[in-house]
Amino acid sequence: MDEKLPPPSPEEQERRLEHERVTRRTFLMNVGIALNVLVTVALATPVVGYLLGPVMRRKDYREWITIGNAADFKPGETTLITYRNPFSDPWDGDTAKIPAYVRCSEPGNFTVFAINCAHLGCPVRWFSESQLFMCPCHGGIYYADGSRASGPPERGLFTYEQKVQDGKLMIKAGQLPTLRNRAGAAPCPGAAPPKAPALVARIESCPSTKGPGTSTSTIG
């Protein structure tokens, strides 16, 4: 015959219940601590990234890329081209494609303009009939050489550093030309590039020239 074990004493039952309560409480506490840690990491990651960004950021997100054969750009013509950001990822798709305008004033003399208006960054359009760049957002107008004609912009179109190598027209791409980076070879169209380009803290009007462009701010 099987012998039945005697039931546990009240003291033993209380001890077992206390052990189960402690085990359950410890488990729930560990789960709560883990959740708190995850939430803290999730909240702290963007803050840490923002604080360390200037330290860990690359000094120059630009590199030379080819945008076409130099011979394909005819003198006296302005051509809309599209290049791919050299620092994009494969999954960026069409968002990595960046348009720009190439102006060939004479054989071997090129200017590559950013498509963005110098006012608030809207894409400008080139009208060959009037030989003008026009911004559809606020009426900014630029001459064929990129200098300001009228409207809110206080300066001409931004330009890329460019060179011709082995018959290929190349630009230094990766950052859009602005006064906040060094993608523009010169602060104003036709101006000599500085020996040591530096960041510019504020926008200033281009100096007046003998050409048709103006540096006076007018609304057109």
Which residues are CB-neighbours of 203 under 8 A, at least 6 positions away?
Answer: 118, 154, 155, 179
154 has pLDDT over 50:
yes
67 has pLDDT over 80:
yes
Q: Bin 212: left if φ > 0, else alpha if -120 < ψ < 50, else beta.
A: alpha
Structure tokens that stand for 112 in this block: 């590559």
For domain 59-220, the CATH architecture is: 3-layer Sandwich (2.102)
Report yes or no on whether pTM surpasses 0.85.
no
Tokens 């069409």 correspond to what residue?
94
**Domain parsing of the chain, residue ranges:** 9-57, 59-220
The CA-based dihedral angle spanning residues 90, 91, 92, 94, taken in that order and rounded to the nearest 10 degrees: 90
How crowded is residue 180: how many other Cβ atoms within 10 Å of its Cβ? 12
Cβ atoms 100, 158 nearer than 8 A: no
User: What is the residue-averaged pLDDT of the chain?
Assistant: 77
37 has pLDDT over 80:
yes
Question: Averaged over 192-207, what is the pLDDT?
Answer: 43
Report which of residues 188 and 59 the model is more confident about: 59
pLDDT class for 9, splitting at 50, 70, 90?
confident
pLDDT class for 209, splitting at 50, 70, 90?
very low
pLDDT class for 199, splitting at 50, 70, 90?
very low
Residues 103 and 156: their CA atoms lie apart, in Å, by: 14
How crowded is residue 185: how many other Cβ atoms within 10 Å of its Cβ? 21
62 has pLDDT over 60:
yes
Q: Report which of 102, 208, 101 is spatially closest to residue 155, judged by C-alpha positions.
A: 208
The tens digit of pLDDT for each residue in 99-122 reads: 999 999 989 899 999 999 999 989
Q: Is the dihedral of CA 25, 31, 35, 36 positive or negative?
A: positive
The tens digit of pLDDT for each residue in 123-133 reads: 999 999 999 99
Tokens 């026009």 correspond to what residue?
134
pLDDT class for 82, splitting at 50, 70, 90?
very high
